[in-house]
Structure 1
C-alpha cells in the first residue's frame, strides 16, 4: 500500500472573515482566497505551509444551497458564532480506496468533490463528524501531478508538528500504521486525564513557533 502524508489542516470558522482574522492574529499571515464547494455548501481560504501542505479556513457559505446531507468537518454541529478552531486534518493518499479499506477505523465513504476546476476524492462520514472522536483523518486523493498548494503564494510558514491527543493513543497509532502514514510530523500523545481528544498544530513562522489547537 502506498504511503500517506499530511495534506492539509482545516480551521472551522463561523465566517471566512472571522477565520482569516483568527489565523492572521496567530500566524501573522492572512490566508488567500480559495473558492466554493457546491456539493457541500461551503467555501474556503487557503494558506501555504510548504511542501504540498496547506491550511484552509472553511465555513458554511450562506449563499449556496444546503447540500441535503451533513457538511464535512462537523460544520453543521458548531454553535452559531463559535470561535474558529482547528477542527480536522486531511491525509493525502495515492490510492484512497486502498487506504480506506485498510483503515482500522471507519473514515467514511469516498466521495467526489470539486472547487472550481479542481476535482478530488475524499472520505466523508455519513454524519459529517470528524472520525475517531474528532481527531481521525479524512483521506484525500488528488489527480496525478495536481495539488492546490502548487498554485498558492509562499507564506514563509511551515508545519512542524501535528499533535494528536487521544485517551487511547494506541488506537490512533494502529490507525496511522494501517493507512500507511509515513509523515514524521505527526506525534500521537495520550490526552491528559479528564480532557477531551484534540488536535494541536505547531507552525514555524518568521516570528517563531506558533500553536493552533
Structure 2
C-alpha cells in the first residue's frame, strides 16, 4: 500500500518558506522541530488527512556527517514545492534509487525514510520519498491544528513521467513536461495555488 503522506516546501531559510506558505494560503503554520541527523528544521500545516512541511537547513545545527536530505545542499532560489512523501507498509521493495531506509526519532515520533547517499532527490523530487511511521506512532495530522485548507490536486511534472511511481490517491497526477510541482488547495473562500 502506498498513500500520500505529506508535501514538502524547501527553502534556504525556514522563515522565508513559512512566509511563502502563510502568505499564499492565508493561514498560520505550526511549530515542527529539528532533525539533528540532517541538520534541518521544519514547520507544519495540517491539511486534514495529510500535512504540508516547510523544511530548511538549520543554521544552529550541531555538526553532522554526510549531506542534508531532501536535496537541501543543492537547493537555491525562492521557497517552493520540492518533494512529496508517500507512506508505505513495507520499505523492502523501495527502488534502489530511493536510497536505503534511515531510522529517525524526534520526541514521540519515529519513522523510517528513504534517503539517497548523496542526500538528493531521485528524478529531481518527482519520484516520491518513501517512509514508514513507527508502530503505534500517531500521525502528525492527529495533533496538528486544522488549517481549514484541503488538497484538491497535486501535479508532478517530469520529462520521464512514465517512470514515476504513482500513489492511487486520485488527487495526485504525474504529467510529462518540464520538472516541477503544482498544488491546488481549497480554502473556505476559494482555491489557491502553491508551486
TM-score between the two structures when normalised by the length of structure 2: 0.93
Number of equivalent positions: 194
Alignment of structure 1 residues 1-213 onto 2, 5 Å: 3-51=1-49, 53-79=50-76, 82-98=77-93, 100=94, 103=95, 106-145=97-136, 146-172=138-164, 175-176=165-166, 181-191=167-177, 196-213=178-195
SS in 2 for 1:74: coil
Indicate if the aligned counterparts of 2:48 and 2:146 stay in contact, CA closer than 8 A: yes
Distance 2:57 2:48 in 1: 26
Q: Deviations over 1:135-191 (max 9, x none)?
A: 11100100234211111001101111110111122212xx33xxxx22111111111
Q: Alignment partner of 2:98: what SS?
A: coil
Question: Would you say the 8 A contact 1:110–1:123 is kept in 2?
Answer: yes
The answer as to whether partners of 2:109 and 2:134 remain within 8 angstroms in 1 is no
Tell me the TM-score normalized by structure 1.
Answer: 0.86
Give the helix-richer structure, 1 or 2.
Answer: 1
Cα separation, 2, equivalents of 1:134 and 1:17 = 22
User: Please, what is the CA RMSD of the aligned residues?
Assistant: 1.4
What is the deviation of 1:113?
1.4
User: What secondary structure sits across from 1:47 in the alignment?
Assistant: strand
Q: Which runs of 5+ in 1 are unaligned?
A: none
CA contact (8 A) 1:70 1:76 kept: yes
Structure 2: gaps (5+ residues):
none
For residues 160 and 67 of structure 1, what CA distance do their matches in structure 2 show?
A: 38
Runs of 4+ in 1 over 4 A off after TM superposition: none
Contact kept in structure 2, 1:11 and 1:87, CA below 8 Å:
yes
- Is the 2:150–2:185 contact (alpha carbons within 8 Å) kept by the matching residues of 1? yes
Is the Cα contact below 8 Å between 2:83 and 2:126 reproduced in 1? yes
